[in-house]
């Protein structure tokens, strides 16, 4: 957001991120983004300091035959990185915008296809010895060290980083 001239107020909320079995990738991120935005809305809806604000909630997952969240440990990180090497997977971000004054919601999602190089077990071991993979969906950050293992993408790079700003900007046009 800063890169696009917006200085957001960040208000993390304690949100239940459990998902129903069999949920699709778009539905999952849209549900999680909406839950986060609604929790924030509930926290500020009666506070006049936030009048005129738009609340933005988002969530990003990596999808390769399953939702790949943040790794539980080194073995889980290795498993995820092994699963995506030499092939493609999807990065899906859901966004929910809530008009603080009216409570109206806009929910959207964006999908980017990411193609990974065929890196070795030793390269995975080197990567997971770093801190970077452990707080990232799918065990990697495209904008970090792991970027060297990305062959190419089809879609929005900013979506892979975690926020598809072009989609948000389009949804915000009625408010600007």
Integer Cα distance of 95 and 34 in angstroms: 7
Q: What is the dihedral of CA 138, 142, 148, 151, to 10 degrees?
A: 80
From 47, 59, 65, 75, active-site residue: 59
CA distance 86 to 63: 15
Q: Estimate to the nearest angstrom the gap between the alpha carbon of 92 and the chain centroid.
A: 7
Respond yes or no: is residue 51 known to be catalytic: no
User: Edge-to-edge strands of the sheet including 54-63?
Assistant: 67-68, 54-63, 88-99, 105-116, 150-154
Which residue has 């900007």 as its token pair?
Answer: 169
- Enzyme catalytic residues: 59
């Amino acid at each position: 957001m800063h890169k696009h001239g917006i200085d957001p107020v960040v208000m993390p909320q304690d949100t239940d991120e459990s998902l129903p079995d069999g949920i699709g990738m778009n539905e999952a991120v849209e549900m999680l983004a909406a839950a986060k935005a609604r929790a924030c809305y509930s926290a500020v809806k009666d506070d006049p300091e936030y009048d005129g604000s738009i609340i933005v909630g988002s969530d990003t997952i990596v999808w390769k035959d399953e939702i790949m969240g943040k790794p539980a440990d080194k073995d889980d990180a290795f498993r995820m990185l092994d699963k995506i090497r030499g092939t493609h997977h999807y990065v899906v971000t859901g966004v929910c915008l809530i008009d603080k004054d009216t409570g109206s919601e806009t929910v959207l999602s964006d999908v980017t296809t990411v193609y990974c190089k065929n890196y070795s077990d030793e390269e995975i071991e080197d990567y997971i010895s770093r801190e970077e993979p452990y707080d990232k969906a799918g065990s990697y950050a495209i904008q970090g060290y792991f970027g060297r293992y990305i062959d190419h993408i089809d879609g929005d790079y900013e979506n892979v980083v975690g926020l598809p700003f072009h989609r948000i900007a389009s949804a915000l046009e009625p408010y600007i």
